[in-house]
């Protein structure tokens, strides 16, 4: 049975999984999660994963959750030309650390800022949003130094090879820059974000999500 991906094109974590699928031209069926629209698969999605966090991958009837685990699952069971993790376990450890960095310290504060902007004004959390902005500033600063340490040949997060960490970085930095702009002084972070946007797999995911940009409450969705 073909792979099935329960997802929405505008979701950052769904894009994280679309990138490796597109990198390796892995065949899969897209199960759209868009409640209220025809062709919506939300009921089956909720049955498969009661926590209702997308994406969810179904592989021959087996449910796989959490974007990082899905990417690792693809690398293990549907390996393509582009490897998502290196064979060397020590090198793989750094890739996993960077994946955690992008999820925990870029994606999470970005989601906090965006989520707060969508809330009704009287339920907003300015203190939490302030903490999220500080965390993003610290993350951008750390990433600037990290990218410098990979120069001159390392154009991707872990060095020369594109992989899991870059799948996490693409959507995280893409939306984070809309929610809390990356300062000009972090030139390497800004250039890395542009390299990610130019990568055909991520460019395709970004293009497919364009119709939904009107729902994004922050930044300048007209750019990128």
Ligand X SMILES: N[C@@H](CCC(=O)N[C@@H](CS)C(=O)NCC(=O)O)C(=O)O
Query: Is residue 53 at the binding interface for ligand X, with CB under 6 A as the rule?
Result: yes
Q: Are 36 and 24 in contact (CB under 8 A)?
A: no
Query: Is residue 42 at the binding interface for ligand X, with CB under 6 A as the rule?
Result: no
Q: Which stretch binds ligand X (CB under 6 A): 20-28, 49-57, 78-86, 135-143?
A: 49-57
- CB-nearer residue toward ligand X: 7 or 161: 7
- Spell out the residues 6+ positions from residue 141 whose beta carbon is closer than 8 angstroms to its own: 186
Question: Residues for the chain: how many in total?
Answer: 224
Task: Mark 56-85 with x for binding to ligand X (rule: CB under 6 A) and - for no binding.
Answer: ----------xxx-----------------
Query: Is residue 102 at the binding interface for ligand X, with CB under 6 A as the rule?
Result: no
**Residue of 2, 25, 29, 52 interacting with ligand X (CB under 6 A):** 52
Alpha helix segments (H runs only) across 157-199: 164-179, 187-198
**Tokens representing 64?**
């796989």
Query: Is residue 11 at the binding interface for ligand X, with CB under 6 A as the rule?
Result: yes
Query: Is residue 114 at the binding interface for ligand X, with CB under 6 A as the rule?
Result: no
Alpha helix segments (H runs only) across the chain: 12-23, 42-48, 67-77, 89-102, 108-118, 126-149, 164-179, 187-198, 200-209
Query: Is residue 54 at the binding interface for ligand X, with CB under 6 A as the rule?
Result: yes
Q: Could you list the residues that contact ligand X (CB under 6 A)?
A: 11-13, 52-54, 66-68
């Amino acid at each position: 049975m073909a792979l099935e991906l329960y997802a929405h094109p505008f979701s950052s974590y769904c894009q994280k999984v679309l990138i490796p699928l597109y990198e390796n031209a892995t065949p899969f069926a897209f199960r759209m999660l868009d409640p209220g629209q025809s062709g919506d698969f939300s009921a089956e999605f909720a049955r498969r994963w009661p926590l209702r966090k997308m994406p969810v991958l179904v592989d021959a009837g087996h449910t796989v959750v959490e974007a990082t685990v899905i990417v690792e699952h693809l690398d293990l069971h549907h390996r393509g030309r582009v490897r998502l993790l290196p064979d060397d376990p020590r090198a793989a450890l750094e890739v996993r650390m960077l994946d955690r960095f992008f999820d925990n310290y870029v994606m999470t504060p970005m989601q906090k800022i965006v989520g707060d902007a969508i809330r009704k004004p009287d339920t907003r959390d300015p203190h939490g949003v302030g903490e999220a902005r500080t965390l993003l500033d610290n993350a951008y600063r750390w990433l600037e130094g990290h990218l410098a340490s990979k120069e001159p040949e390392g154009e991707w997060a872990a060095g020369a090879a594109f992989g899991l960490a870059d799948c996490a970085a693409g959507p995280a930095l893409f939306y984070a820059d809309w929610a809390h702009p990356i300062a000009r002084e972090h030139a390497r972070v800004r250039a890395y974000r542009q390299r990610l946007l130019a990568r055909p797999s991520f460019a395709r995911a970004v293009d497919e999500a364009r119709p939904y940009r009107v729902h994004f409450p922050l930044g300048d969705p007209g750019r990128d």
